[in-house]
Amino acid sequence: MSFFLPVLLGTAREGRRSEAVAQFVLEQVAQLKGVETLLVDARDYRIRGTDDTETTRLEKRFAKIVTEADGFIIVSLEYNHSFPGELKMMLDMADDEYAGKPVGICGVSSGGMGGVRMVEQLRLVTITLGMVPISSAMYFSNVEKLFDAEGVLLDQKFVTRLKPFFHELLWYVEALKAQRKKTPLSLD
């Protein structure tokens, strides 16, 4: 079996520091055997106004990715103890397409808590959407000091930490893809 695990980047702000984290995670996912990935950037899914045609086009594009995905990795900074609004707006663009698919969350913060409160609030949203939040999470604290000017990761311990995170995620990806093939999951 091969799997498609897109990496969702949750912030759209100018000067966002979580982009380097998302790039690092994306590279690591791409090295997993039998796994394909893609960066899905909240910047590309901003709803700019009340133009229904444009909104519908973005929703269709996003829902298509969610339909094809076997699981998700979300990378996001924490603002004010929760997720960025643009991440929530992007996630709200799909619905049934998430059902029965696992998700691993990577918190990012300028401070020392690694976005842990964002991770908790986001887990509740993902459950509602029908995703399965895994027990492991990644916490990228003090993000300003984690990468050099070229965006190269300075602390290799995150490579090590990703291993059990990926291991758990893939355990669920495999189990649930097999089950979805056998019996489609429909949620109310």
Residues of this chain that interact with a copy of itself (CB under 8 A) are 12, 14, 43, 46-50, 52, 55, 79-92, 99-100, 112-114, 116-117, 120-121, 123-125, 127-130, 132-136, 139, 164, 168, 171-172, 174-176, 178-179, 183, 185, 187-188
Residue 2 or residue 160: which is nearer to a copy of itself going by CB? Answer: 160
Between 59 and 152, name the residue whose CB sits nearer to a copy of itself: 59
Shortest Å distance, C-beta 41 to a copy of itself:
12
> Closest approach of Cβ 183 to a copy of itself, in Å?
6
For a copy of itself, give the closer residue by CB, 152 or 159: 159
- What is the nearest approach in angstroms of a copy of itself to the Cβ of residue 133? 6
User: Which residue number, 92 or 148, has a Cβ lying nearer to a copy of itself?
Assistant: 92
SS3 for the chain is CCEECCEEECCCCCCCCHHHHHHHHHHHHHCCCCEECCEEEHHHHCCCCCCHHHHHHHHHHHHHHHHHCCCEEEEEECECCECCHHHHHHHCCCCHHHCCCEEEEEEECCCCCCCHHHHHHHHHHHHHCCCEECCCCEEECCHHHCECCCCCECCCHHHHHHHHHHHHHHHHHHHHHHHHHHCCCCCC
